Structure 1
Amino acid sequence: MLVTAAYIAAGFGANGAAAQDISEDLLTGYMRALVVHEVPVDASAAPYLVTEETQGALADYAGDYVVLNFWATWCAPCREEMPSLQTLQQTLGGEDFNVVTLATGRNPPQAIRRFFEEEGITDLPQYRDINQQIAREMGVFGLPITVILNPDGQEIARLRGDADWSSPEAIAVIETLLDNNS
Protein backbone atom coordinates (compact mmCIF):
# COMPACT_ATOMS: atom_id res chain seq x y z
CA MET A 1 0.00 0.00 0.00
CA LEU A 2 2.82 2.39 0.89
CA VAL A 3 4.59 1.56 -2.38
CA THR A 4 1.40 2.31 -4.33
CA ALA A 5 1.01 5.65 -2.57
CA ALA A 6 4.63 6.55 -3.31
CA TYR A 7 4.18 5.57 -6.98
CA ILE A 8 1.06 7.73 -7.27
CA ALA A 9 2.78 10.65 -5.56
CA ALA A 10 5.79 10.35 -7.88
CA GLY A 11 3.44 10.25 -10.85
CA PHE A 12 1.76 13.45 -9.77
CA GLY A 13 5.15 15.11 -9.30
CA ALA A 14 6.28 14.12 -12.79
CA ASN A 15 2.91 15.04 -14.15
CA GLY A 16 3.04 18.51 -12.70
CA ALA A 17 6.15 19.23 -14.74
CA ALA A 18 4.51 18.14 -18.02
CA ALA A 19 1.28 19.98 -17.34
CA GLN A 20 3.16 23.05 -16.12
CA ASP A 21 5.33 23.15 -19.26
CA ILE A 22 2.27 23.48 -21.50
CA SER A 23 0.45 26.30 -19.78
CA GLU A 24 -3.06 27.42 -20.69
CA ASP A 25 -1.52 30.62 -22.11
CA LEU A 26 0.01 28.53 -24.92
CA LEU A 27 -3.29 26.89 -25.87
CA THR A 28 -4.44 29.40 -28.45
CA GLY A 29 -5.24 29.16 -32.15
CA TYR A 30 -4.92 25.60 -33.43
CA MET A 31 -3.53 24.54 -30.07
CA ARG A 32 -6.83 25.32 -28.31
CA ALA A 33 -7.83 21.73 -29.13
CA LEU A 34 -4.68 20.29 -27.51
CA VAL A 35 -5.66 18.31 -24.41
CA VAL A 36 -2.82 18.22 -21.88
CA HIS A 37 -2.95 15.16 -19.64
CA GLU A 38 -2.72 15.59 -15.91
CA VAL A 39 -0.82 12.31 -15.67
CA PRO A 40 1.47 11.12 -18.50
CA VAL A 41 0.34 7.88 -20.14
CA ASP A 42 2.72 5.21 -21.43
CA ALA A 43 2.80 4.92 -25.22
CA SER A 44 2.50 1.60 -27.02
CA ALA A 45 5.51 -0.69 -27.12
CA ALA A 46 4.16 -2.51 -30.20
CA PRO A 47 6.33 -2.47 -33.33
CA TYR A 48 5.56 -0.60 -36.53
CA LEU A 49 6.87 -1.33 -40.00
CA VAL A 50 9.66 0.89 -41.27
CA THR A 51 9.93 -0.96 -44.57
CA GLU A 52 8.52 -4.23 -45.78
CA GLU A 53 11.15 -6.15 -43.84
CA THR A 54 12.21 -4.02 -40.88
CA GLN A 55 10.48 -2.88 -37.73
CA GLY A 56 10.83 0.00 -35.34
CA ALA A 57 9.21 1.10 -32.10
CA LEU A 58 8.37 4.38 -30.43
CA ALA A 59 11.03 3.46 -27.85
CA ASP A 60 13.57 4.16 -30.62
CA TYR A 61 12.89 7.85 -29.88
CA ALA A 62 13.62 7.61 -26.15
CA GLY A 63 15.16 10.82 -24.88
CA ASP A 64 13.35 12.99 -27.44
CA TYR A 65 10.08 14.85 -27.47
CA VAL A 66 7.97 13.41 -30.28
CA VAL A 67 4.96 14.72 -32.13
CA LEU A 68 3.37 11.43 -33.22
CA ASN A 69 0.79 11.78 -35.98
CA PHE A 70 -1.65 8.95 -36.75
CA TRP A 71 -2.89 9.31 -40.32
CA ALA A 72 -4.07 7.43 -43.43
CA THR A 73 -3.68 7.87 -47.18
CA TRP A 74 -7.48 8.17 -47.65
CA CYS A 75 -7.89 10.86 -44.95
CA ALA A 76 -8.55 14.32 -46.45
CA PRO A 77 -7.72 16.26 -43.23
CA CYS A 78 -4.46 14.27 -43.04
CA ARG A 79 -3.55 15.54 -46.51
CA GLU A 80 -4.17 19.12 -45.33
CA GLU A 81 -2.13 18.67 -42.16
CA MET A 82 0.92 16.74 -43.42
CA PRO A 83 2.81 19.70 -44.97
CA SER A 84 2.65 21.57 -41.64
CA LEU A 85 4.07 18.53 -39.85
CA GLN A 86 6.96 18.53 -42.30
CA THR A 87 7.54 22.24 -41.65
CA LEU A 88 7.56 21.55 -37.89
CA GLN A 89 10.19 18.83 -38.40
CA GLN A 90 12.27 21.10 -40.63
CA THR A 91 12.01 23.97 -38.14
CA LEU A 92 12.60 22.20 -34.81
CA GLY A 93 13.57 18.60 -35.59
CA GLY A 94 16.92 17.39 -34.38
CA GLU A 95 18.60 15.83 -31.38
CA ASP A 96 15.81 16.46 -28.86
CA PHE A 97 12.69 16.52 -31.06
CA ASN A 98 11.16 14.58 -33.94
CA VAL A 99 7.91 14.46 -35.86
CA VAL A 100 6.90 10.84 -36.45
CA THR A 101 4.13 9.94 -38.89
CA LEU A 102 2.42 6.59 -38.51
CA ALA A 103 -0.03 5.43 -41.18
CA THR A 104 -2.56 3.27 -39.41
CA GLY A 105 -4.72 0.62 -41.02
CA ARG A 106 -4.58 -0.42 -44.67
CA ASN A 107 -2.08 1.90 -46.28
CA PRO A 108 0.01 0.04 -48.87
CA PRO A 109 3.61 1.28 -49.18
CA GLN A 110 3.03 2.45 -52.76
CA ALA A 111 0.00 4.53 -51.64
CA ILE A 112 2.07 6.11 -48.86
CA ARG A 113 4.90 6.91 -51.28
CA ARG A 114 2.42 8.44 -53.75
CA PHE A 115 0.77 10.49 -50.94
CA PHE A 116 4.17 11.84 -49.84
CA GLU A 117 5.18 12.61 -53.44
CA GLU A 118 1.92 14.42 -54.20
CA GLU A 119 2.23 16.55 -51.04
CA GLY A 120 5.99 17.13 -51.39
CA ILE A 121 6.76 15.42 -48.07
CA THR A 122 10.45 14.54 -47.95
CA ASP A 123 11.48 14.88 -44.29
CA LEU A 124 9.01 12.62 -42.46
CA PRO A 125 9.12 8.87 -41.92
CA GLN A 126 6.78 6.53 -43.77
CA TYR A 127 6.03 4.18 -40.87
CA ARG A 128 3.03 1.82 -40.93
CA ASP A 129 0.85 0.48 -38.13
CA ILE A 130 -0.72 -2.11 -40.43
CA ASN A 131 -2.73 -4.02 -37.82
CA GLN A 132 -3.67 -0.84 -35.96
CA GLN A 133 -2.15 -2.33 -32.83
CA ILE A 134 -0.42 0.88 -31.78
CA ALA A 135 -3.51 2.94 -32.56
CA ARG A 136 -5.74 0.60 -30.55
CA GLU A 137 -3.36 0.48 -27.59
CA MET A 138 -3.18 4.28 -27.57
CA GLY A 139 -6.94 4.80 -27.94
CA VAL A 140 -6.81 6.35 -31.40
CA PHE A 141 -10.30 6.50 -32.88
CA GLY A 142 -10.70 8.66 -35.96
CA LEU A 143 -7.98 10.39 -37.94
CA PRO A 144 -5.90 12.42 -37.78
CA ILE A 145 -4.88 12.28 -34.16
CA THR A 146 -1.60 13.71 -32.97
CA VAL A 147 -0.02 13.00 -29.60
CA ILE A 148 2.99 14.57 -27.93
CA LEU A 149 5.35 12.15 -26.21
CA ASN A 150 7.82 13.23 -23.57
CA PRO A 151 11.43 11.97 -23.52
CA ASP A 152 10.31 9.08 -21.28
CA GLY A 153 8.02 7.83 -24.07
CA GLN A 154 4.84 8.91 -22.34
CA GLU A 155 1.92 10.72 -23.92
CA ILE A 156 1.52 14.13 -22.33
CA ALA A 157 -0.94 15.75 -24.75
CA ARG A 158 -3.33 14.87 -27.59
CA LEU A 159 -5.02 16.75 -30.39
CA ARG A 160 -7.97 15.19 -32.26
CA GLY A 161 -8.41 16.40 -35.81
CA ASP A 162 -6.08 18.36 -38.02
CA ALA A 163 -4.07 21.40 -37.06
CA ASP A 164 -1.47 23.72 -38.53
CA TRP A 165 1.63 22.36 -36.78
CA SER A 166 3.74 25.09 -38.37
CA SER A 167 1.64 27.84 -36.76
CA PRO A 168 3.26 30.17 -34.23
CA GLU A 169 1.07 28.59 -31.50
CA ALA A 170 2.27 25.04 -32.27
CA ILE A 171 5.90 26.15 -32.52
CA ALA A 172 5.55 27.91 -29.14
CA VAL A 173 4.22 24.74 -27.48
CA ILE A 174 7.10 22.61 -28.77
CA GLU A 175 9.75 25.27 -28.06
CA THR A 176 8.47 25.58 -24.48
CA LEU A 177 8.80 21.83 -23.97
CA LEU A 178 12.30 21.83 -25.43
CA ASP A 179 13.39 24.87 -23.41
CA ASN A 180 12.12 23.35 -20.16
CA ASN A 181 13.88 20.06 -20.91
CA SER A 182 17.34 21.57 -21.38
Structure 2
Amino acid sequence: MRLFTALWPPDDVVRDLAAALRPGEQAVVPAPARPVPEREWHVTLGFHGEVTDPARLAAGLRAALGGRRAPTVRIAGAGVFPGVLWAGVEGAGPEDEAALSALVAAVGESDPGEYRPHVTLARWPRRATPDLAALTALTSYAGRWWTPEEVLVVRSDARERPRYSAYQRIALGPPPGAP
Protein backbone atom coordinates (compact mmCIF):
# COMPACT_ATOMS: atom_id res chain seq x y z
CA MET A 1 0.00 0.00 0.00
CA ARG A 2 1.41 3.43 -1.01
CA LEU A 3 1.11 5.96 1.80
CA PHE A 4 1.93 9.58 2.53
CA THR A 5 1.09 12.00 5.34
CA ALA A 6 -0.58 15.33 4.62
CA LEU A 7 -2.58 18.30 5.79
CA TRP A 8 -5.81 18.77 3.86
CA PRO A 9 -7.01 22.37 3.37
CA PRO A 10 -10.64 23.21 4.16
CA ASP A 11 -13.11 23.38 1.27
CA ASP A 12 -13.37 27.19 1.32
CA VAL A 13 -9.57 27.51 1.11
CA VAL A 14 -9.56 25.18 -1.91
CA ARG A 15 -12.42 27.10 -3.59
CA ASP A 16 -10.61 30.42 -3.12
CA LEU A 17 -7.37 29.05 -4.59
CA ALA A 18 -9.28 27.47 -7.49
CA ALA A 19 -10.89 30.85 -8.22
CA ALA A 20 -7.44 32.47 -8.29
CA LEU A 21 -6.44 29.95 -10.98
CA ARG A 22 -9.47 30.91 -13.09
CA PRO A 23 -9.58 34.69 -13.33
CA GLY A 24 -12.58 35.48 -15.52
CA GLU A 25 -13.45 31.74 -15.54
CA GLN A 26 -10.57 30.98 -17.90
CA ALA A 27 -8.03 28.53 -16.48
CA VAL A 28 -4.45 29.79 -16.41
CA VAL A 29 -2.85 26.33 -16.38
CA PRO A 30 -1.87 25.77 -20.04
CA ALA A 31 -1.28 22.56 -22.00
CA PRO A 32 0.68 20.34 -21.71
CA ALA A 33 0.26 20.89 -17.99
CA ARG A 34 -2.32 18.59 -16.39
CA PRO A 35 -4.17 20.24 -13.51
CA VAL A 36 -4.33 18.24 -10.31
CA PRO A 37 -8.02 17.81 -9.35
CA GLU A 38 -9.00 20.23 -6.59
CA ARG A 39 -10.20 17.39 -4.35
CA GLU A 40 -6.59 16.10 -4.35
CA TRP A 41 -4.93 19.37 -3.25
CA HIS A 42 -2.99 18.81 -0.03
CA VAL A 43 0.20 19.74 1.79
CA THR A 44 2.45 16.67 1.88
CA LEU A 45 4.41 16.27 5.12
CA GLY A 46 6.11 13.04 4.11
CA PHE A 47 5.96 10.37 1.42
CA HIS A 48 6.33 6.81 2.70
CA GLY A 49 6.07 4.94 -0.61
CA GLU A 50 5.08 1.30 -0.73
CA VAL A 51 4.50 0.16 2.87
CA THR A 52 4.29 -3.53 3.76
CA ASP A 53 3.01 -2.97 7.32
CA PRO A 54 0.70 0.08 7.16
CA ALA A 55 -0.71 -0.53 10.66
CA ARG A 56 2.78 -0.34 12.15
CA LEU A 57 3.59 2.84 10.22
CA ALA A 58 0.29 4.43 11.29
CA ALA A 59 0.92 3.52 14.94
CA GLY A 60 4.38 5.10 14.78
CA LEU A 61 2.97 8.24 13.16
CA ARG A 62 0.19 8.43 15.75
CA ALA A 63 2.81 8.28 18.52
CA ALA A 64 5.02 10.89 16.80
CA LEU A 65 2.29 13.31 15.70
CA GLY A 66 -0.66 12.89 18.05
CA GLY A 67 -1.36 16.03 20.04
CA ARG A 68 1.44 18.07 18.45
CA ARG A 69 0.78 21.77 18.10
CA ALA A 70 -1.21 22.59 14.98
CA PRO A 71 0.30 25.38 12.88
CA THR A 72 -1.82 28.20 11.52
CA VAL A 73 -1.06 28.39 7.80
CA ARG A 74 -2.27 29.83 4.53
CA ILE A 75 -1.66 29.18 0.86
CA ALA A 76 0.37 32.04 -0.59
CA GLY A 77 2.56 32.61 -3.64
CA ALA A 78 3.62 30.07 -6.24
CA GLY A 79 6.60 28.46 -7.87
CA VAL A 80 7.79 25.56 -9.99
CA PHE A 81 9.78 22.41 -9.48
CA PRO A 82 10.78 20.44 -12.58
CA GLY A 83 7.44 19.38 -14.07
CA VAL A 84 5.34 20.85 -11.24
CA LEU A 85 3.41 24.08 -10.64
CA TRP A 86 2.79 24.64 -6.94
CA ALA A 87 1.23 27.14 -4.56
CA GLY A 88 3.25 27.90 -1.44
CA VAL A 89 2.20 27.37 2.16
CA GLU A 90 3.37 29.69 4.93
CA GLY A 91 2.90 29.88 8.68
CA ALA A 92 1.23 32.83 10.39
CA GLY A 93 4.45 33.56 12.29
CA PRO A 94 7.71 32.01 13.49
CA GLU A 95 5.92 29.70 15.95
CA ASP A 96 3.70 28.38 13.16
CA GLU A 97 6.65 27.91 10.81
CA ALA A 98 8.38 25.97 13.60
CA ALA A 99 5.25 23.89 14.25
CA LEU A 100 5.00 22.99 10.56
CA SER A 101 8.70 22.03 10.49
CA ALA A 102 8.19 19.97 13.65
CA LEU A 103 5.40 18.00 11.93
CA VAL A 104 7.70 17.29 8.98
CA ALA A 105 10.51 16.22 11.32
CA ALA A 106 8.13 13.98 13.32
CA VAL A 107 7.03 12.24 10.13
CA GLY A 108 10.70 11.54 9.47
CA GLU A 109 10.45 11.30 5.70
CA SER A 110 11.83 14.72 4.72
CA ASP A 111 14.71 16.90 5.80
CA PRO A 112 12.87 19.85 7.38
CA GLY A 113 15.67 22.14 6.22
CA GLU A 114 15.02 21.18 2.58
CA TYR A 115 11.26 20.90 2.88
CA ARG A 116 9.19 23.47 1.01
CA PRO A 117 5.55 23.30 2.04
CA HIS A 118 3.32 23.51 -1.03
CA VAL A 119 0.18 22.37 -2.78
CA THR A 120 0.78 20.75 -6.19
CA LEU A 121 -1.57 22.38 -8.72
CA ALA A 122 -0.41 20.96 -12.06
CA ARG A 123 2.14 18.57 -13.58
CA TRP A 124 3.74 18.30 -17.01
CA PRO A 125 6.47 16.24 -18.64
CA ARG A 126 9.84 17.50 -17.43
CA ARG A 127 10.93 18.13 -21.04
CA ALA A 128 8.00 20.47 -21.70
CA THR A 129 8.04 24.18 -20.98
CA PRO A 130 4.46 25.40 -20.60
CA ASP A 131 3.61 29.08 -20.53
CA LEU A 132 3.24 29.56 -16.81
CA ALA A 133 0.70 32.37 -16.70
CA ALA A 134 -0.50 30.79 -13.45
CA LEU A 135 2.67 32.00 -11.77
CA THR A 136 1.70 35.57 -12.56
CA ALA A 137 -1.83 34.99 -11.29
CA LEU A 138 -0.58 33.39 -8.07
CA THR A 139 2.56 35.36 -7.25
CA SER A 140 0.67 37.82 -5.09
CA TYR A 141 -2.04 35.36 -4.02
CA ALA A 142 -2.60 34.93 -0.29
CA GLY A 143 -5.50 32.84 0.98
CA ARG A 144 -7.12 32.90 4.40
CA TRP A 145 -5.40 31.50 7.47
CA TRP A 146 -6.51 28.06 8.65
CA THR A 147 -5.46 25.66 11.38
CA PRO A 148 -5.58 21.95 10.57
CA GLU A 149 -7.15 19.77 13.23
CA GLU A 150 -5.55 16.59 11.98
CA VAL A 151 -2.83 14.99 9.91
CA LEU A 152 -4.01 12.39 7.46
CA VAL A 153 -2.16 9.21 6.61
CA VAL A 154 -3.31 8.84 3.02
CA ARG A 155 -3.50 5.83 0.74
CA SER A 156 -2.58 6.59 -2.87
CA ASP A 157 -3.86 4.40 -5.69
CA ALA A 158 -3.46 5.75 -9.23
CA ARG A 159 -5.91 3.14 -10.58
CA GLU A 160 -8.87 4.27 -8.50
CA ARG A 161 -11.01 7.40 -8.26
CA PRO A 162 -10.80 9.18 -6.01
CA ARG A 163 -7.08 8.54 -6.14
CA TYR A 164 -6.50 9.34 -2.46
CA SER A 165 -8.31 7.98 0.58
CA ALA A 166 -7.72 8.55 4.29
CA TYR A 167 -6.12 5.49 5.86
CA GLN A 168 -5.71 7.05 9.31
CA ARG A 169 -6.52 10.41 10.94
CA ILE A 170 -4.25 11.79 13.67
CA ALA A 171 -5.58 14.66 15.80
CA LEU A 172 -3.32 17.65 16.36
CA GLY A 173 -3.25 19.81 19.47
CA PRO A 174 -4.60 23.35 19.44
CA PRO A 175 -2.40 26.34 18.67
CA PRO A 176 -1.35 28.48 21.67
CA GLY A 177 -4.15 30.68 22.98
CA ALA A 178 -6.90 28.44 21.58
CA PRO A 179 -9.69 27.54 24.02
**How high is the TM-score relative to the length of structure 2?**
0.27
**Larger strand proportion of the pair:** 2
**How high is the TM-score relative to the length of structure 1?**
0.27
